[in-house]
Structures are given as C-alpha cells and as structure tokens.
Amino acid sequence: MQDVESASAPLLSDAIDLGYLDPDQARFSQTPGGFLALNYKGADYPRVSVRRSLPLAMPNEYLSLADPEGKEIAILRDLSRLDADQRGLVEAELARRYYCPNVVDVKSVKDQLGYVYFELTVQGAGAPSARMCAVKDVNKNIRMLSDDDVIMFDVDGNRYRIPSLKALNAKSRKRLEPYLF
Amino acid sequence: MARFTRYCPEYMEDAFREQGVDAREILFAIHTDMDANGAHADAYAAVTADALLILTGEEAVTRMEGARRIVARFNARALETIPLKDIKELTNDRLVATGQLCAVNEDGSVRALLLYSVGFLGDAEKLAQTVKNIKAGSPPLQDVSVDADRFCPKCGHRYPESGHARCPRCMDKRSITLRLMGFFKLYRRKAFVVLAVMILGSAASIAVPQIGSRMLFDEVLTPGGSYFGMALAFVALIFLVRAVNVGLNMLYGYVLARTVPWIIYDLKMRIFEAMQRLSVGFYTSKRTGALMNRVNRDANNIYWFFVDGFPYLIVNGLTFAGVLTLMCVMSVKLSIVVMIAVPASVAFFRILWGFFKRFHHKNFVYGAQLNSMLSDSINGQRVIKAFAREEAEAKRFAEVGGKQAGVDVRMSNAAFTAFPLIYLFMFLGQVVVTMLGGVMVVNGELTLGSFLTFIAYLQMLYGPLEFMSWVSNWWARCVDSAQRVFEIIDAKPDVTEPERPAAVDGIRGDIVAKNVRFEYDPATPVLKGLDITVESGKMLGIVGKTGAGKSTLANLIARLYDVNEGEITIDGINVKDWPLAMLRGGIGIVSQDIYLFIGSIADNIRYANPGAGMEDVIRAAKAAAAHEFIMKLPDGYETRVGAGGQDLSGGEKQRLSIARTILQNPRILILDEATAAMDTETEAAIQASLAALSKNRTTIAIAHRLSTLRDADNLAVIEDGKVVETGNHRDLMTKMGAYFKLYKLQMEGLKVINMDAE
C-alpha cells in the first residue's frame, strides 16, 4: 500500500492539508483566568485546549490545538519545536488535561467481590500522596502498554501509570503481578 | 481521587471556622483533591448566600477504629472568597481524567477555579447547581454533605461506583448466602429431604470400613471373635451397606435434580423481571452492558455451586467430622499423628494450587482474547478480504495463540513436576501412620482390624480436606456472581411510575416543553434550555445538525429518560405524573434504530397490539409501503425475522417499524429520521402514508432532509441544545436565519447534481 504511486491518483498528502502549526507565528500565553491563550498568525484565541492524538505512544507529538467549541486551530507536530518557555505553558495545560500520576508504591491489593481495591502511593506534580482506588474488570482496566509499562483506570475514570515495572519495588511488583497480562 | 472514607462535614466546618468563616452560613460544600497544578491537595469549595469560598490545604488523616478514617487536623494554605455577585455562573469542564471548575464572570471573562480528579465531577456539578439556585433566588440544595449516595451509611466506606444500590463491602458473603438460601425457602421440604439423605449417606460411607475392615478382621476372621467364621454373612452385610449407600446417593441426586433447576428458574425470572423494570439509561451505560452479558454466566455459577459445591460441602464436612471422631475413639495416639501430617500436606497442596491458579487465569484471559479475535475476524471477513489483510489477521491470531500455548507449556511443566511431589508428600504422611500403627499392632496396642480401618479412614480424610481447601474459592465465585445478580434485582429504575398518577383517560396531544435541560453524562449537556410547543393534531418539524439533541427530545417526551431541569407537559400534565403505560401507549416513536424481535413479520407488526386481525396488519403494512416487499418473500407475512431469521435491508426494517407504529394507533406520533434510510422513491411512498397517518394526530417529525418536513405546520431549528428559530417555512425563509442557511445548503447540493447531469 505504501509504495503506490500512480499518475492519476493524487497522494493523500497533497489532497489533505494537516494544518501544522508554524511555531514562528505562534505565541502562547497564560490568561489571568488561568487558561492557555494563543496568538497565531495575528488571530487571538483567548482559550485554547491541547489534545493528544496519541496520548500513550507519542504524548508530545501531534498535539491538536482547538478553541472551546472544539474547532481545530492547528496541529503542533512536536512539542520540542517550541521554545522552552512556550513549551512550559503547553506542558502545564497538558498536565491538567491528562492528569495521570505515577504509582511509586503499592501498599495493598484486595480482591473483593469483583472489585480490586488498591492502596497506592502516587506521585503527581507535587509530593507523593496516598490514594485508594477500586478497579473493576482488571483485565480490561489494567493494561500493559509494553512489557514494562502499565496503565490503570479506576472506577471513577482516574488513570495511574507505572512507567517501569522493573523500577518499582519488589513487594509492589509482587502484589500487582496477578493482575498483569 | 476520593478516599473511601465517609465524608464528615464537621471537620470541614472547623477548617472554615479557623479561617474566620461562620460555618453556619455555609449552604453547600464539596471536597476535592488537587491544587491548580495537579499536585495533591485538599480543597474545600463552599457556598454561602453571597460568596463562594475556596479553601486549600492538607488534611492530616489518622486511622481510627477499624476502617473508618477521621480527620484530625486541616492545615490551611489559602482561603479565597469570591462574591457571588461577580459570578454569572459556574461551569465544569470534563478533561481526560480531571475536571475543572470555572467561573464565568459577569463581565463575560472566564476563570479557572479548581482542578479535581474526575470522580468529583458529580459533586462539582451540584456545587454549580447550588450557585445557580442561589442566584435565581430558589432554595439551594439542602444537604450540606453530598456524599450520601457515595458512601455506605453502614460501614462508612465509599461505594466503588456511585449509583450502587448496596455496598459490596457490607453485602458480606454471609448475608448474600443467607439471601441465596432464601430462594430455597419455597422448597423447604425437598431441601430437608436432601439434607437427611446426605447425612444418612455420610453415615453409611463411614460405616463401610467399620464393617469391612475392623469387624471383618477382628470379629469374623480372628478366632475367638464374636462372629468368627460367619464370613459369608459378613460379605453379604458389606454388600448391603454398600447397596444402601448407592440407593441413598440415587435418591439424593433425584431430589436435588428436581429442586435446584426450579430455584435457578426463580432466580432467572427475577433477574429478567428486574431488567424489564429498569430504565433505558441502565442499558445504555457501559457498566451494565457487561453486567447483562454476565447474567447467564452468573446464574450458572450459582447453579453449579448449589448442585455440586454446597451438597458436597455438607457431605464432606460431616464425613470429616465423623471420621476424625471415630479415629480418636480407636487410637488417640495415631490420631494425633494424623492431625499433624494431613493438614500439612493439604497446606502444601493449597500453596501449589494458588500458583496454578495464576497460570489458569492467564490461560483463561488469553483464551478469551482468542475467542473475541475469532468472532472479530468472522464478522469482519468482508473488510479483511477487501483490504487483503488475511495474512496480517492470521499473524495477529498466531501471536495471542502463541502466548496461550506458552502459558500452557509452563503450566503443564509445572504440573508434571509439582503434582507427583505433592502425592509423594501426602504418601509420606500415610507411611508414618502405617509405620507407627504397625508397631502398635505388633505390640498388641491395636488390633489388626482397627489398624486397617484406621488406614481406610485416613484415605477418607484427604478427599474432604482437599475439597475444603478450594471450595472457599468456589464459594467466593458464587457469592461474587450472586452479588452481581442482586445488584440488578436491587437496582432502582431512574424513571419510575408516579406515586399519585394523574386521573386521565387518554392523551389529547398538546405538548409543551419548557426550559428543558438534559445530560446523559455529567458535564456534557445535550439540551440546554429547550422550549417547544405543539398543539394537538398539529405537526412540528424539528431540524438541526446531528448531535443537536433532536432524538433526545423524543426520548424525553416518551419519558425514556427524565429531564434534569424544566418540564415537559402533555395536555398540561407533567409527563412525570402520567401513568407510564398510558403515556407510552399513547406515543408512537418511529426511530432510526429499529429492533425486530424473533418471530414472524406479522407478529412484529402486531407487537404493540397483539389482538389486531390480519386485515389490520396488511392495512398497516400497505400504509407503510411494506406490503409489496413482504409479498415477495416466500413465506409472506409468516417470514421469520430477528436474530437468525430473514435478512432485511435497513429500509425494509424501517418500513416494518412504521407499520408497527401505525397499528399502535398512538395520539402522538414521533418520527425520528423515520425515512432517512430509504431511497427517494420509497420515501415518497411512505411520506404519503405518513401524511395520511399524521392527520389529526400530534406529530413531531425530526429530520435531516428538509424535504421530509414539507407538511409541517410549524418548524423548529435546534442548535446546540436550544431552539434558535421557530415558524413555518415561509416565515423562516424570509427571516434568512439558520433555517434559510440549511435550506440553501441542501438546495445547492441538489443543484450541483443537476449540473453534473446536464
């Protein structure tokens, strides 16, 4: 499929413009109300949302910038193309939207009547904190993204990530083991 | 995210009091869990009559008696006071795993106030609602604590999911078992017979070694024994005891087989009835979709436990107790050895069993994956072939299949090494007992018969012990299933029959919707203050983009869901006060999603009106332009449709559903994109019959194509959950607004085609 090049059929890339953001013409800022604003090609967008196309595999690439109505302004191909301060603003917005603390310790796991209750220590933006969560249908809601990388969804819709199982302490790993596939 | 403790408003009040706020002024408050940057923090948001207070800081939590947690101290970091007069409204944005409370100020600017993890969204919505109520002058929500439906009042723990009818922690295994036993109540006599037979059976099996070993060797074969030489009679006795045992087993199986299926029937009927009672919302939520799939498996789990597990639990328990008692009577010394050796080997067995369970579980999950992949590829064959992806699919299948095979190999390897070892270990116990017993026989401390009986009993001990080592898992599974089943039985429907239904004898057909707001999921409103009026006998056409909330309106009028705010009245009476059956019987909905039940075409058309004669059925089919295609089918009106039946096209099914509604003869007709799936010619035919049908009937026609609505007396354009324009075609065209734009767009589309044709 990749190498089909015929004279008559135009390539998809010619027909559809992805609308990549030109970083030189974009200026992000933070509004007094606490939102991300964007000035792009002379137009002002007082409130911009940033959504990941591939939240798990490529969290910093193909970021869709949209206005509050969900209309896309542009796609930011790669976060690293922004200057450090600009990138910080977008990263903060991403952190708010895709809040997903890392699990640093699994204190207890209790399997009870179809729910698995976890007592966790998680690390978000600040200091580590204790969390309790309940997970239902573990083989659906605890997913191995790779051999080493785990994401969990609790009944409320909260997400927890274990970026590296190997880096987790042995006891925690052992407690999690029965629920990993 | 929330902790699973009961929310306690006193400590929150204390925290505010320390900040100089009079806690008595707080009308409503919530507790959330993050600061603005997503770091863990405790934040309280409270509303008084004139201000919104946001207090952030950390709770210092100490664990006290049992699982309940009590907050000892709150270390406040910041208190922010925002006068309500500056705020126009509070809104909540649902982000991915978080929500954000924002204030829309009176000057139109928006400010982010609080970030919280998504579990608090419902609470934050209530906060926004409270502010709205206060600003509108209506009474705020009364309860300061919003957690009543999220925390179990009995144990103080959070429900794993809100909307739970009961707390899974509190609904302990014992109470579920008692409730399951309740199903046996109706069959008390039979259950008693089963129990009696089982006890007799256990007694008989315990008696066998007594007669077959001890008495035979000590009394019959030993010179000087009481029955010395009566070998033949004894063999006959042994046979008799065995025969009684077998007879009892047969009787037991017979009685049980006649009882348990009816108990399961009761259970399934109750589940089914409960399901009929539940509202549409229950079925559309994802959670319950999975629940439904499980119902059958759950009922079976319960069935097998009660047929297989429970009786054997009693038999084995009795046998175990009986055997152990007899062993002690025969030789206390040997019994002590047994009591050490046997539990040790069982414990060993259990450890290994736990190890295997993990393999089994993985195996099961991979198996399930393979199954779903298989059905995926069967259902998707056309697409697979069209994209020439056969090989890739095979590879995908092979991957998971390989994983499963790998687990299988590991499991078998482990089994072939471990199980012989377990049996060797178990045998070791027996060897010790045999050795000791042998010495005792030689020393004359024990008779040969008693010794042999003892060995026989020893072997009878392993079975029950082994059984009991894993029956607890089985039981847990059964209780787990029962809990899900009870969850369905106990679930409360969202839409309920009014307590005092209005005294009405039928629908006339005046529909008024006033300021209707509705959302399926929190913070994603579909209707945002919608108003419509339809006079009895008139036709209202509703147009708008997909997702504008058109179909939702139909659902709300028929009360498949209840409005969140505002009201819908029919003939001046709130739909919530109409007797449900009369309301829904008087409203006919022809919608986009059509369901045909398994049965004949005629039965399907007659669904709402099973007494209708064949003439009426044909008349309805003709009116729906369905008669002709039905007659082309070899079995005509007797053609079987539904799952496994004749395949009908979307348009054909649609016509059957129109015929069904025509036969229902409702006072209010709602056509929700009724002709969207049809070709132009059929649509024209049906339009004609629908026009005839809607005469003198209140009709709401929802459509995408404006041509469908040409007979409407009045038109309403819905955009973003609100009516933006109303009037008849001519009014709206001269207005040059939203309707005009839609009309022009559709006309231009047609023009383009015409140009191409020329």
In a domain, B300, yes or no: yes
Contacts of B358 in chain A (CB under 8 A): 177-178
Q: Quote the tokens at residue B360.
A: 């089994």
Same domain as B204, residue B84: no
Same domain as A23, residue A92: yes
Q: Quote the tokens at residue A22.
A: 């030109």
Same domain as A110, residue A87: no
Contacts of B36 in chain A (CB under 8 A): 34
In a domain, B706, yes or no: yes
Same domain as A31, residue A93: yes
pLDDT at res. B615: 92
Same domain as A110, residue A83: no
Question: Cβ(B447)–Cβ(B224) under 8 Å?
Answer: no
Separation of alpha carbons A51 and A21, rounded Å = 14
Helical packing angle, B332-379 and B310-330, nearest 10°: 160
- Identify which of A125, A134, A181 has the shortest CB distance to residue B37: A125
To test the contact with chain B by mutation, choose from A52, A113, A129, A138 the residue with the greatest count of B C-beta atoms within 10 A, namely A113
Separation of alpha carbons A128 and B563, rounded Å = 42
In a domain, B639, yes or no: yes
Report the CATH number that the domain containing residue B475 is assigned in CATH: 1.20.1560.10
Same domain as B510, residue B464: no
- Our CA-based measurement puts residue A178 at a distance from the nearest CA of chain B, in whole angstroms, of 6
Same domain as B673, residue B538: yes
Same domain as A129, residue A93: no
Q: Quote the tokens at residue B120.
A: 């608090």
ipTM of the complex: 0.85
Chain B: residue whose CA lies nearest to A102: B39
Inter-chain CB proximity A127 and B119 less than 8 Å: no
- Our CA-based measurement puts residue B373 at a distance from the nearest CA of chain A, in whole angstroms, of 15
Same domain as A64, residue A108: no
How many cross-chain Cβ pairs, A to B, lie less than 8 Å apart? 112
What is the H or E stretch that residue A64 is in?
strand A58-66
Separation of alpha carbons B491 and B690, rounded Å = 39
In a domain, A1, yes or no: no
Question: Cβ(A103)–Cβ(A164) under 8 Å?
Answer: no
Separation of alpha carbons B377 and B384, rounded Å = 8
In a domain, A2, yes or no: no
Tally of domains within chain B: 4
Dump strand ranges (E) for B173-220.
none
Residues of chain B with pLDDT under 50: 1-8, 64-68, 142-147, 163-165, 286, 757-758
In a domain, B551, yes or no: yes
In a domain, A127, yes or no: yes
Separation of alpha carbons B64 and B61, rounded Å = 9
* B546 three-state secondary structure: coil
pLDDT at res. A8: 66
Domain-terminating residue out of A97, A113, A139: A97
Separation of alpha carbons B465 and B355, rounded Å = 19
Inter-chain CB proximity A95 and B38 less than 8 Å: yes
Nearest-10 Cα torsion for B447, B453, B457, B459: 110
In a domain, B365, yes or no: no
- Identify which of A32, A35, A99 has the shortest CB distance to residue B117: A99
Same domain as A107, residue A86: no
Domain-terminating residue out of B665, B692, B717: B665
Contacts of B362 in chain A (CB under 8 A): 181
In a domain, A4, yes or no: no
Separation of alpha carbons A58 and A75, rounded Å = 14
- Identify which of B1, B36, B38 has the shortest CB distance to residue A131: B1
Please, where are the H alpha helices in A31-162? 84-97, 138-141
pLDDT at res. A80: 92
Report the CATH number that the domain containing residue B46 is assigned in CATH: 2.30.29.30
* B509 three-state secondary structure: coil
Same domain as B719, residue B602: no
pLDDT at res. A36: 92
Cβ within 8 Å of residue B4, ≥6 positions away: A117, A132, A134, B67, B157, B158
Same domain as A111, residue A85: no
Contacts of A114 in chain B (CB under 8 A): 168, 480, 483-484
**Residue corresponding to tokens 């809104």:** B91
Chain B: residue whose CA lies nearest to A178: B358
Domain-terminating residue out of A49, A65, A97: A97
Same domain as B678, residue B577: yes
To test the contact with chain B by mutation, choose from A96, A110, A117 the residue with the greatest count of B C-beta atoms within 10 A, namely A96
pTM (two decimals): 0.66
Separation of alpha carbons A105 and A173, rounded Å = 9
Chain A: residue whose CA lies nearest to B171: A113
Backbone angles phi, psi at B408, to 5 degrees: -60, -45
Same domain as B298, residue B207: yes
Q: Which amino acid is at B465?
A: L
- Identify which of A33, A136, A178 has the shortest CB distance to residue B110: A33
Same domain as B571, residue B672: yes
Q: Which amino acid is at B49?
A: A
Same domain as B684, residue B660: no
Give how far the C-alpha of residue B182 lies from the chain's centroid of Cα atoms, to the nearest Å. Answer: 23
- Our CA-based measurement puts residue B110 at a distance from the nearest CA of chain A, in whole angstroms, of 6
By CB neighbour count within 10 A (0-12 exposed, 13-18 middle, 19+ buried), where does B692 fall?
exposed
Chain B: residue whose CA lies nearest to A47: B110
Domain-terminating residue out of A47, A82, A97: A97
Separation of alpha carbons B97 and B566, rounded Å = 30
Domain of A163?
A: 102-179
In a domain, B342, yes or no: no
In a domain, B4, yes or no: no
By CB neighbour count within 10 A (0-12 exposed, 13-18 middle, 19+ buried), where does B652 fall?
buried
Domain-terminating residue out of B490, B516, B545: B490
**Residue corresponding to tokens 């089918």:** B633
Residues of chain A with pLDDT under 70: 1-8, 112-114
Tally of domains within chain A: 2
* B244 three-state secondary structure: helix
In a domain, B180, yes or no: yes
Contacts of B169 in chain A (CB under 8 A): 112-113
Question: Cβ(B612)–Cβ(B606) under 8 Å?
Answer: yes
Contacts of B2 in chain A (CB under 8 A): 132, 156
- Identify which of A33, A96, A137 has the shortest CB distance to residue B98: A96
Domain of B129?
A: 9-149
Separation of alpha carbons B555 and B587, rounded Å = 11
* B656 three-state secondary structure: helix
* B231 three-state secondary structure: helix
Domain-terminating residue out of B149, B181, B200: B149
Question: What sign results for the dihedral spanned by CA atoms B206, B208, B212, B218?
Answer: positive
**Which of B656-681 are b and which e, b meaning 16 or more Cβ less than 10 Å from the residue's Cβ?**
bbbbbbbbbbbbbbbbbbbbbbbeee
Same domain as B135, residue B58: yes
Inter-chain CB proximity B97 and A139 less than 8 Å: no
**Which of B516-552 are b and which e, b meaning 16 or more Cβ less than 10 Å from the residue's Cβ?**
bbbbeebbebbbeebebebebbbbbbbbbeeebbbbb
By CB neighbour count within 10 A (0-12 exposed, 13-18 middle, 19+ buried), where does B83 fall?
exposed
φ/ψ region of B676 (left if φ > 0, alpha if ψ in -120 to 50, else beta) reads: alpha
Residue B27, CA distances (Å) to A51, B59, B140, B232 in order? 37, 22, 7, 92
Report the CATH number that the domain containing residue B650 is assigned in CATH: 3.40.50.300
Q: Quote the tokens at residue B710.
A: 């040409």
- Our CA-based measurement puts residue B554 at a distance from the nearest CA of chain A, in whole angstroms, of 25
Same domain as A61, residue A38: yes
Same domain as B285, residue B189: yes
By CB neighbour count within 10 A (0-12 exposed, 13-18 middle, 19+ buried), where does B503 fall?
exposed
Separation of alpha carbons B101 and B82, rounded Å = 14
Same domain as A169, residue A109: yes
Same domain as B235, residue B185: yes
Separation of alpha carbons B484 and B294, rounded Å = 9
Same domain as B116, residue B19: yes
Separation of alpha carbons B253 and B138, rounded Å = 67
pLDDT at res. B62: 58
Number of Cβ within 10 Å of residue B758's Cβ equals 4
In a domain, A160, yes or no: yes
Q: How many CA atoms lie within 13 A of B221 on its CB side?
A: 12
Inter-chain CB proximity B365 and A181 less than 8 Å: yes
* B325 three-state secondary structure: helix
Inter-chain CB proximity A157 and B40 less than 8 Å: no
Cβ within 8 Å of residue B727, ≥6 positions away: B714, B715, B735, B739
pLDDT at res. A38: 93
- Identify which of A98, A134, A156 has the shortest CB distance to residue B96: A98
Inter-chain CB proximity B110 and A35 less than 8 Å: yes
Q: Please report the DSSP string for B701-755 in residue order.
A: EEESSGGGGTT-SEEEEEETTEEEEEE-HHHHHHHTSHHHHHHHHHHHHHHHHHH
φ/ψ region of B41 (left if φ > 0, alpha if ψ in -120 to 50, else beta) reads: beta
Inter-chain CB proximity B160 and A127 less than 8 Å: no
Number of Cβ within 10 Å of residue B482's Cβ equals 24
What is the H or E stretch that residue B372 is in?
helix B332-379
- Our CA-based measurement puts residue A167 at a distance from the nearest CA of chain B, in whole angstroms, of 22
